[in-house]
Amino acid sequence: MKRFLAVLFAWCMIGAANAQVTYTATVGNYTSIADFTSCPSGETCTNYTTAMKQSGSFTVPTALAPNMAGDIAASVVSYSFNDGINTYSKANADDRTNFFSVTTDASGNITGVAIMVSKWLSGTNGSHVVGDQFSYMFLGSASFNNLNCTGVALTFAGSADACVNENGGVGASFAQSPVAVVWSSAVTSNTPASIPTLSEWGLIIMSALLALGTLVVMRRRQI
Number of domains in the chain: 2
Tens digits of per-residue pLDDT, 48-92? 999 999 999 999 999 999 999 999 999 999 999 999 999 999 999
Do 175 and 161 sit in the same domain of this protein? yes
Burial 164-202 (b: 16+ CB within 10 A, else e): bebeebebbbbbebebebebebeeeeebeeeebeebeeb
Q: Closest by alpha carbon to 92, among 110, 83, 79?
A: 79
Phi-psi region of 91 (alpha: psi -120 to 50; beta: other; left: phi over 0): alpha
Do 197 and 117 sit in the same domain of this protein? no
Do 68 and 105 sit in the same domain of this protein? yes
What CA–CA distances, in Å, run from 125 to 20, 38, 154? Answer: 31, 26, 14
State the residue range of the domain holding 168.
20-187
85 in Cβ contact with 48 (< 8 Å): yes
Do 128 and 150 sit in the same domain of this protein? yes
Tens digits of per-residue pLDDT, 180-204? 899 999 998 655 544 344 445 455 5
Q: Is the pTM of this model over 0.85?
A: no
Do 205 and 120 sit in the same domain of this protein? no
Do 39 and 118 sit in the same domain of this protein? yes
Do 126 and 201 sit in the same domain of this protein? no
Do 119 and 180 sit in the same domain of this protein? yes
